[in-house]
Amino acid sequence: MTRTFISMAKTGGQGKTLTAQMLVLQHEQKGVPVKLAAADSDSLNQRSKFGRLFRNVKELGIGEDLTKVKSSTDPNLAIKYWDEFGRTVLEGGYIIDVGANVAAELFAWAEARNAGSLLRRRNSPPIDLVVTTKAESQAIEDARGLIQYSFDKNEWMPIGRRYVVLNEVSGGFGAYENDPNFKRLKAYQGMGVHIVTMKRCESDIWTLLERELISVREALKMTEVDLEKRFGIDVWTGHGGLTDLKSWADETLSSFEKVGLVPVRDSGHLDSGVEAVGAGCS
């Protein structure tokens, strides 16, 4: 029985889908089967970014339409919408990419449904929370708030392990070492929260991957000839870009592994999670 990983951020643009991508690649490299889901959507085609990067992504959407909720005679319609998320975590073995506009709703659903009681009774696979943040003051505070919220709601949404990914795409976190919010975020390490750094990828083909919505996993299976034929880029640019991408991916997954952010086959008992103590990190 394998764990479920929820990749989440309180605000958009933090790199939580990239973190989810790396978890997919990690599972593949380790030969651990995994299913994919997304609680997010794109306004153009109602597909999540995760769903456009990978096939067979279970699209959970972003919640019941407000007009339907208001016109419905069922007062629990909005809550029932997220029962599919509940079935997903009950089944286990998923990587779930959760949009910034959905995080609070999922915790609210869990509390309304008293989800923790059923998940524990059914011995559902453990759930790990992975929160990603860039080196920005508000983003750091939002990540801290989300971690605290997960502790506050742990009775209803039992989290086995918690991780914070420091995404250096916009720069390092050195300038925030004395920032009170960053200090409070790091203080959660004393409560079992693991913090890992994800460096910026400097590959020449990175902007191409983002523009064409090519996953890191797919790109690493390509050759410089594939890139040359498909996109018309210089063969040496493709060769150097793939070399740098592989090096970055290896370093990132190695960092994940050092803090225990790896797929683990479990005996089937749901982790009780670490209970929050006091308000020292709030």
Domain with 118 in it: 4-202
Question: What's the confidence (pLDDT) of residue 89?
Answer: 96
Mean per-residue pLDDT for 201-230? 95
Q: How confident is the model at residue 281 (pLDDT cuts 50, 70, 90)?
A: very low
Mean per-residue pLDDT for 81-87? 91
Q: Tokens 């083909």 label which residue? A: 205
How many CA atoms lie less than 13 Å away from 83 in the CB half-sphere? 7
pLDDT at 261 over 80: yes
Question: What's the confidence (pLDDT) of residue 50?
Answer: 94
Q: Is residue 179 part of a domain?
A: yes
What is the value of pTM for the model shown?
Answer: 0.89
Q: What is the CATH number of the domain that holds 148?
A: 3.40.50
% residues pLDDT > 70 (the chain):
86
DSSP for 125-182, written as a single string: PPEEEEEEEES-HHHHHHHHHHHHHHHHTTTTS--SEEEEEEEGGG--SGGGTT-HHH
Question: What's the confidence (pLDDT) of residue 26?
Answer: 97
- Pick left, alpha or beta for residue 268 (phi over 0 → left; psi -120 to 50 → alpha; otherwise beta): left
Q: How confident is the model at residue 213 (pLDDT cuts 50, 70, 90)?
A: very high
Q: Are 160 and 270 in contact (CB under 8 A)?
A: yes
Q: How far is CA 220 from CA 16, 22, 150, 198, 229, in A?
A: 20, 12, 34, 18, 16
Q: Is residue 109 part of a domain?
A: yes
Q: Is residue 51 part of a domain?
A: yes
Closest CA to 36 of 94, 114, 93: 94
Most confident stretch, 10-19, 43-52, 54-63: 10-19
Q: Is residue 171 part of a domain?
A: yes
Question: What's the confidence (pLDDT) of residue 266?
Answer: 54
Q: Is residue 240 part of a domain?
A: no
Q: Is residue 256 part of a domain?
A: no
Count of other CB atoms within 10 angstroms of residue 259: 16
Q: Is residue 61 part of a domain?
A: yes
Question: What's the confidence (pLDDT) of residue 46?
Answer: 74
Q: Is residue 94 part of a domain?
A: yes
Per the model's pLDDT, the better-predicted residue between 66 and 145 turns out to be 145
The sheet that has 194-198: what strands, in order across it? 57-59, 35-39, 94-98, 4-8, 127-134, 161-167, 194-198
DSSP for 235-251, written as a single string: HHHHHHHHHHHHHHHHH
Q: How many structural domains is the chain composed of?
A: 1
φ, ψ for residue 164, nearest 5 deg: -120, 125
Q: How confident is the model at residue 68 (pLDDT cuts 50, 70, 90)?
A: low
Type of residue at 228: E
Question: What's the confidence (pLDDT) of residue 272?
Answer: 40
Q: How confident is the model at residue 274 (pLDDT cuts 50, 70, 90)?
A: very low
Q: How confident is the model at residue 81 (pLDDT cuts 50, 70, 90)?
A: confident
Q: Give residue-wise pLDDT tens across range 95-116.
A: 999 988 788 889 999 999 999 9
